Amino acid sequence: MDWQTPEDSFPTDFITDAQLRALMGRPPISGGWRDGDPVGERQFTAIGDLTTEFGGEIPNVRIAYETFGELNERRDNAILVFHALTGDSHLVGAAGAGHPTDGWWSEIVGPGRPLDTDRYCIVAPNVLGGCQGSTGPASLSPEGREWGGSFPYLTIRDQVAATARFADALGIDRFCAVIGGSMGGMHALEWGLTQRDRVDRLAVIAAPPVTTADQIGLNLVQLEAIRSDPSYRDGNYYDAPDGIGPHHGLATARRLALLNYRSNTELDERFGRAWQSAVSPLGGGGRFAVESYLDFHGNKFTRRFDAGSYVTLVQAMNSHDVGRGRGGVRAALSTLDLPTLVLGIPSDRLFTLEGQDEIARHTPGSLDGERATRIESPFGHDAFLIEFERVGAQLARLLAE
C-alpha cells in the first residue's frame, strides 16, 4: 500500500528516544503539498471539469506529475506508473524543497535500470484526490475555500478517467506499459479495462481484482481513527482557528496500516519482545521496540500527508471491483488479452496471493498463465518496494514481450 520505501525501511531495529522526541512538536495542519510551497520537480496540467461516477462535479481539475526520460518524436515510448496509497509522483530524486521523501523507485527507474530512462519516458502522476499537487480535499473549491469534507466521493474508475484526460493533455495516445502496485495496481487494472486501445502491456503488482469485505473492514478502522479525532471537524479543519489538524487520528491510521504492510514473521524477527527503553519520552514506563517503530512512523507521516486525502483515497480503494457492471470479475478480466504481469507476494497479508492468482487465472494475457508470478520475500506487502532486483527483473521481462 505504501510506496515510500526510504521512510519505512528502518536503518536499524530500534528508534532512539531522541528521534521520537524530535517528532513531538506540533505537525502542520496538513502535511500535504499546498499552493505556495516549493514546487520541486513537479509539473502541473489542467484537465478541465470532471463529473464523477456518482454525480460529483469537480471544476478546474489539476494533475501534478513528474517525468523521467524524454518523450520521443513519435510519442510512443511512454510508460505510465501509478503510485500506491501514500505515494506520489516523486519516483526518483532526493528529498528536499517540495519533496518530503526520497524517490520511492530509484532502483527501478533510471538510465540502464529496468524502466530505462535512456529508452523510455516514465510518466508518474499524483492521482486525483491526492495531496501532492493534484486536486484533492485541500484544494480550493468554487467557494474559494478548501473543499474539505465536501470533496466528492471518488472511485478508482474516476481516478483512471482523470488520468486518461491527463494523458490527452500531454499528447500521449498510447503507453508502452501501464504499471502499478497496491492501489496503483487497481488503477493499472482499470486502465487495461477502460483504456484498452491506449496500452501495450500491463503490470499489476500486489493488488486484488476486488476489495474484499475483510479489506474494507480494515480500512474502516483506519477511517474511523481519523473521523473520530475531534480536530477532523468532518473534514473541514484546514482553517481551524487553533491551527491543529487531525494529527492523532492520522497517525493512528498509519500505525494500523503499517501492521499490514509487513508480515508478522518479519516483525517478530525484527523486534521480538525487545524493549526500546526503560522510560519513554512519551511518558509512562518502558516501551516495546515495535511500539516505538509504529509511533515514530505514525508521527512522521502527519508531516507529509493530508488526512482528507487519506480518507478520499481509502474510500476510492474500497470502491475497487473490476467486475462491477461488467458481468463479474471473470467476465471483465477475460477481455485483458494484452501481455500482463501479475505479481504477487506469498507473505503479503494485506492483498493476499489469492487475489493475484484470480487475476492471472482469468486474464488471457497473463505472462505465467493461471498462476501469478511470485516474489518470495519475508517483507510482506512492502516486498515490491524493497526487492528491487526481483521486481525489476520481472518488469524487464514484461517490457521484452
Look up residue 379 and give its three cell numbers.
Answer: 517483507
pLDDT at 280: 53
Tell me the C-alpha distance between 43 and 142, whole Å.
23
**Contact assessment for residue 54 and residue 153, using Cβ atoms and an 8 Å cutoff:** yes
Three-class SS state of 315? helix
User: Side-chain half-sphere of 320: how many Cα atoms within 13 Å?
Assistant: 31
SS3 labels along 12-40: CCCCCHHHHHHCCCCCCCCCCCCCCCCCC
Q: Which of 89, 134, 139, 182 is catalytic?
A: 182
Residue 348 designated active-site: yes
pLDDT at 351: 97
Q: Is 59 exposed, middle or buried (0-12, 13-18, 19+ CB in 10 A)?
A: exposed
What's the Cα-to-Cα distance from 120 to each of 77, 123, 137, 146, rounded to whole Å? 5, 9, 33, 37
Residue 88 designated active-site: no
Q: Which of 8, 229, 295, 348 is catalytic?
A: 348
Nearest to 253 by CA among 280, 288, 228: 228
pLDDT at 3: 34
Q: Are strands 57-68 and 43-51 parallel, antiparallel or unpaired?
A: antiparallel
pLDDT at 18: 54
pLDDT at 316: 98
In the block, cell 532512539 appears at 16
Nearest to 178 by CA among 156, 200, 194, 208: 200
Residue 46, phi then psi, degrees to nearest 5:
-90, 135
What's the Cα-to-Cα distance from 70 to each of 77, 174, 347, rounded to whole Å? 9, 15, 37
Residue 381 designated active-site: yes
**Contact assessment for residue 43 and residue 124, using Cβ atoms and an 8 Å cutoff:** no
Q: Please state the CATH superfamily assignment of the domain spanning residues 5-399 in this structure.
A: Alpha/Beta hydrolase fold, catalytic domain (3.40.50.1820)
Strand partners, 373: 343
What would the DSSP string read from start to end of 372-387? PEE---TTGGGHHHH-
Mean pLDDT by 10 residues, the chain (401 residues): 37 49 74 95 98 97 98 97 97 94 95 98 98 97 96 98 98 98 98 98 98 97 98 97 95 95 84 68 67 89 97 98 98 97 97 98 97 95 94 97 89
pLDDT at 48: 98
Q: Which of 247, 362, 381, 382 is catalytic?
A: 381
**Contact assessment for residue 48 and residue 101, using Cβ atoms and an 8 Å cutoff:** no
In the block, cell 484526490 appears at 129
